[in-house]
Amino acid sequence: MAETTLAGRLLDRLQPGMLCLADRGFVGFGLWRAACATNADLLWRLRANQVFACETVLPDGSCLSHLYVSPAHRRRREGGVLVRVIDYRLDGVPAAEPVYRLIAALLDPTTAPAGGLAALYQERWEAEVLFAEIKVTLPGRRLMLRSRRADLVEQEVYGLLLVHFALRHLMIRARQALEATPTLSAP
């Protein structure tokens, strides 16, 4: 089943006060509008080819624009949904893309500054790395949960998280030990 179909099924779980972060494959007019109807706060990454005209520049460097159902609707400025567009860079990160673009339902830059939202979105990648390690690296191949009951699946995933945490803790301690090892100088 497609991820966007599965994402649509989760919308009824969103509530006011929640922040929903989504990757670039999820931004579409219908899904965005449905997610906005939940009154949750949205912060979604855009695909590189999605076009947004900057209509109002905000004090924090973000801008207001509209998300439209199609390019034809955008040309006619018909039926768009107001969004906030945030562009940012990751300086000093070798594999970073030139520019990252987010759209947000959080329209007020005083309550949700663009820099804070960009930093928050980047924190999302910590969870992505964790999921990748648990699904692929930790088991040595693609993860296959064996449990057939929800409570046992939860227990199995909890066990994987504990093993991941323990391994990360050992890695940090090993690195600290290497840094603390004295080096001998020649006489």
Quote the pLDDT of residue 128. 74
pLDDT of residue 46: 86
Q: Could you tell me the residue ranges of all domains in the chain?
A: 8-113, 145-179
| pLDDT for 185 | 53
Cα R_g (the chain), whole angstroms: 21
Q: How confident is the model at residue 173 (pLDDT cuts 50, 70, 90)?
A: confident
Residue 133 pLDDT level (bands cut at 50, 70, 90)? confident
Q: What is the pTM of this model?
A: 0.71
Phi, psi at 24, each rounded to 5°? -60, -20
pLDDT at site 166: 87
Tell whether the model's pLDDT for residue 58 goes beyond 70: yes
Using the predicted structure, report yes or no on whether residue 56 has a pLDDT greater than 90.
Answer: yes
What angle (nearest 5°) sits at the alpha carbon of residue 88, between those of residues 28 and 77?
40
Q: What is the 3-state secondary structure (H, E, C) of the chain?
A: CCHHHHHHHHHHHCCCCCEEEECCCCCCHHHHHHHHCCCCEEEEECCCCCCCCCCEECCCCCEEEEECCCHHHHHHCCCCEEEEEEEECCCCCCCCCCCEEEEECCCCCCCCCHHHHHHHHHHHHHHHHHHHHHHHHCCCCCCCCCCCCHHHHHHHHHHHHHHHHHHHHHHHHHHHHHHHCCCCCCC
Per-chain mean pLDDT for the chain: 83
pLDDT tens, residue by residue, 27-55:
778 888 989 999 999 999 887 677 888 99
77: left (phi over 0), alpha (psi -120 to 50) or beta: left
**What's residue 179's pLDDT?**
76
Q: Looking at the DSSP assignment, which residues form a beta bridge with residue 83?
A: 65
